[in-house]
Structure 1
Amino acid sequence: MNLIERLKQIGPGAMVAAAFIGPGTVTTATVTGADHGFVLLWAVAFSILSVIVLQEFSARLGIVSGEGLGEALRKEFSNPIIKFIAVFLVVGAIGVGAAAFETGNILGGAMGLATITGVSEQIWGPVIGLIALAILWTGKYELVEKVLIGLVALMSVSFVATALILRPDMGEIMAGLFAPSLPEGEGLTLVIALIGTTVVPYNLFLHASSVQDKWQGTENLNAARFDTIFSIIVGGIITLAIVITSAAVIHGTGMEVADAGDMAVQLEPTLGRWAKWFFAIGLFGAGFSSAATAPLAGAYATAGALGWKRDLKSTKFRAVLLIILLIGVIGSAMGADPVQLIIFAQAVNGILLPISAVFLLYVMNNTEKLGEYTNGTFANIIGGIIVAITIIIGIMELMAVFGG
């Protein structure tokens, strides 16, 4: 199969990449570059490596076993107490993570509209949430989502083009990528936020299910791997470009990133006076499309873990969807700093990530379920290192929060 044919097969991996290129990623990456320059590029690189490894595990599980991650975990443990604890932890991680993401998604879209209209995010947030609920309730969200993803794609191209035009110092970029360091202050929170906005726990569950709709049979594993790796690398390049443009344009100026207008400054080298409008519309597109899909993703993942019917018209399914949306709406209407709330949401997700990752790594070593396609030694070492690092970072964040 040549490259063109492989690109035509792109599917579930692109969905995963689209999920993490939302307002949370744009905001967190912008603040990271503005506050610390190129220093934390290594955290983005680690995040991309992590999501490639973990999503490959998830895709392989779905294709080989024919089960989603939630279903696999439900069947993994025979002891009822252990099974209950496992399902409780996973559903808790996914539910809290999706709800935290939803707050950031709605706020991101609201920030975009506030920049254009001058109306407060506290007003636009609930409006976006209610519109997203209406679209999900009817099930006719695909066309709207495609249009909004197109707007996000245009904004993303602008970031990559700006990063190339600025010609930043390659020595500083290489140092940021390959010489890890942790700046004082909010450096740790931003590292966790970068990981949390890229490696999304509910994506691990969604991916295992969505690949089954695209491919059947282990002969398609290579196609699924290409889809995963290619799509996520493209998403990673966009995230790196945002950090680089922010570092090159904003860092060192003393400017504080407080809203979408501030973040749009980094696009001025290519878009001039249109930067603010272009960025705001793209941020709205990223926020609204994610606000419509994150509750759906969380509901699918929770339903799979609990053994419920995965149907948009199911009462239980809709209940999970509604709870996640309501939390996002309430969070967006609280009147807090939208940028800080979005970064906090990503940090929460970064802390919850190890729970899902540990269970995924455990299932990937079940020879009865996966046979010859279980993890080998190298895959377990890499996966174990990623899980260990996410656990350590999460513990450090908890210590920082409760210690001071």
Structure 2
Amino acid sequence: MSWEKVKKTLGPGILFASTAIGVSHLIQSTRAGANFGFGLLIFIIAANVLKYPFFEFSARYANATGQSLIDGYKKLGNYAIWLYFIITLCSMFFVSAAVVMVTAGFMDNLFGLSGLWNNFSLFPVALVFLVSVGILISGKFNLLDSLIKIIGMTLLISTLVVFVMTLMKGPTEPIANFKPPGIFEDSSLLFIIALMGWMPIAVDMSTWVSLWTVEKIKSTNYHPSLKESLLDFNLGYWISAFLSICFVTLGAYLIYGTGKSLPTGSVGFADSVIQLYTSTMGNWSYLIIATASFSIMFGTCIGAFDGYARTLHRTTAILFRGIENQENGSRKIYIISLIILAIGSFMVNAFFSGQFKILIDLATTISFLIAPLVAIANFKLVGKKYISQSFLPGRLMRLLSYLGIIFLTGFALFYIYVMFIKN
């Protein structure tokens, strides 16, 4: 495999990793470590491992067919594409609003913008929407692809440095009479569901990997081999999985047992996360870490907006315009999708203003509840009926898929039991 071919292939996996590292890592993984130490590490590892096949299938299907998973859902039947369209509509505003709220928190922490407009507390949120949508409307996939690589590398290096330094220093001494929270209490169990909902990212967003893979093929005019596509995807996926462990460690070593708690507001939370870095590296690193943290969240925000807009673009083209060929979609639909997404998400932000933690947990929980349906659809599409023999997954991957479906379905049913039946 030549370096030239690798360069033409790399992109969708890194874009996936950058999108994943945002809320699930900076927010949820850090909260898990701060509140429970390493008690929830097994759930984070399980989510990363057992969700893996359904994201890998997205890259596999796109490489095998030159089409996105959304086109594949159409082949499963009209019910499948309609179900996915409804799932997307039900979740996209909450997910996008959560991502924007976190991004705005890191931006406000870095630039102090909210103080400029005291009568408009949503100013940082509105600014994130305007800039993100503006970049995607005026830019191209290649710009997004290049931007994410730079942003992701900056945070990756700084996180690895802090992770190693934190391990060398060891955990902070717990306060006297510290009593750890019970993992099996209802409130803890609900947080675990929310934590796994976006670990490393929501399963319904697996279609984005295929959309980005198809777009990469179009933009480079190069169709990589399956091995090359999976190399790109695996690189991004397992880097994001490892970083989730890094963020749990930061929360567990630097906050757990100290009597401190992470703020519930987005700006305060952003400041606390950045202080985790600076307490280890020194105050000199504040500007570097604050810029890198904001940048990765901004990259997550742009990636999420692009992913949802492409999803709406493709699903509406198939459902309402009868377009089967991916080349025929109008860019107007993409732009309209972006605007609808921005307006709807901003309204959710306005409704949940000041309720940062509630919005994050709601968005991640919704994602986990719909995960089994998407997982089953993805699994079906990598069968003999839809792709050729040379692209089929092996026995181990199929076994892992069955375990993943059981895992996702079991926890979704457990959540329903705790919330609606138990009490």
Q: Which runs of 5+ in 1 are unaligned?
A: 78-82, 172-180
Tell me whether 1:305 sits opposite 2:299 in the alignment: no
- CA distances 1:273-294 after superposition (whole Å, capped 9, x unpaired): 3565444433322332232231
Match of residue 323, structure 1, among 340, 343, 352: 340
Cα separation, 2, equivalents of 1:352 and 1:247: 30
Percent same amino acid among aligned pairs?
17
Cα separation, 1, equivalents of 2:332 and 2:313: 11
Report if aligned partners of 1:159, 1:245 keep a CA contact under 8 Å in 2: no
Report if aligned partners of 1:261, 1:276 keep a CA contact under 8 Å in 2: no
Partner SS for 1:254: coil
Cα separation, 2, equivalents of 1:214 and 1:320: 21
Partner SS for 2:336: helix
Query: Relative to structure 1, is the Cα distance of residues 17 and 151 closer, same or farther in structure 2, using a 3 angstrom cutoff?
Result: closer
CA positional deviation for 1:27: 0.6
Report if aligned partners of 1:95, 1:324 keep a CA contact under 8 Å in 2: no
Cα separation, 1, equivalents of 2:153 and 2:224: 32
**Equivalent residue, structure 2, for 1:80:** none
Q: Counterpart amino acid of 2:347? A: I
Structure 1 stretch 304-313 or stretch 343-352: which is displaced more?
304-313
Match of residue 413, structure 2, among 391, 395, 399: 395
CA positional deviation for 1:358: 1.2
Tell me whether 1:252 sits opposite 2:257 in the alignment: yes
Report if aligned partners of 1:98, 1:202 keep a CA contact under 8 Å in 2: no
Report if aligned partners of 1:69, 1:305 keep a CA contact under 8 Å in 2: no
CA positional deviation for 1:107: 0.7
CA positional deviation for 1:330: 2.0
Cα separation, 2, equivalents of 1:348 and 1:286: 23
Partner SS for 1:333: helix
- CA distances 1:58-82 after superposition (whole Å, capped 9, x unpaired): 11211222221111111223xxxxx
Query: Relative to structure 1, is the Cα distance of residues 137 and 8 closer, same or farther in structure 2, using a 3 angstrom cutoff?
Result: closer
Tell me whether 1:119 sits opposite 2:114 in the alignment: yes
* Paired residues for 1:4-83 under 5 Å: 6=6, 9-77=9-77, 83=78
Query: What RMSD over aligned residues (CA atoms) do the two structures have, in Å?
Result: 3.2
- CA distances 1:199-251 after superposition (whole Å, capped 9, x unpaired): 33354212223334556999811122222222211111111101101110001
Cα separation, 1, equivalents of 2:189 and 2:34: 15
- CA distances 1:353-382 after superposition (whole Å, capped 9, x unpaired): 222111111222243543453345433221
Cα separation, 2, equivalents of 1:254 and 1:53: 39
**Equivalent residue, structure 1, for 2:194:** 193
**Equivalent residue, structure 1, for 2:243:** 238
Q: Counterpart amino acid of 1:333? A: A
TM-score normalized by structure 1? 0.84
Cα separation, 2, equivalents of 1:229 and 1:299: 24
**Equivalent residue, structure 2, for 1:166:** 166
Report if aligned partners of 2:170, 2:253 keep a CA contact under 8 Å in 1: no
Cα separation, 2, equivalents of 1:63 and 1:9: 11
Tell me whether 1:336 sits opposite 2:328 in the alignment: no
Aligned length: 389
CA positional deviation for 1:38: 0.7
CA positional deviation for 1:134: 2.4
Query: Relative to structure 1, is the Cα distance of residues 369 and 140 closer, same or farther in structure 2, using a 3 angstrom cutoff?
Result: closer
Partner SS for 2:388: helix
- CA distances 1:27-86 after superposition (whole Å, capped 9, x unpaired): 111111100001111222223223432222111211222221111111223xxxxx2x32
Match of residue 285, structure 1, among 278, 295, 312: 295
- CA distances 1:361-404 after superposition (whole Å, capped 9, x unpaired): 12222435434533454332211210221121122223333355
Q: Which runs of 5+ in 2 are unaligned?
A: 116-120, 172-181, 264-268
Q: Counterpart amino acid of 1:345? A: A
Query: Relative to structure 1, is the Cα distance of residues 106 and 24 closer, same or farther in structure 2, using a 3 angstrom cutoff?
Result: farther
**Equivalent residue, structure 1, for 2:86:** 92
Query: Relative to structure 1, is the Cα distance of residues 327 and 137 closer, same or farther in structure 2, using a 3 angstrom cutoff?
Result: same
Match of residue 379, structure 1, among 397, 400, 405: 397
- CA distances 1:136-185 after superposition (whole Å, capped 9, x unpaired): 232358657855763454333322222212227999xxxxxxxxx94434
Q: Counterpart amino acid of 2:293? A: L
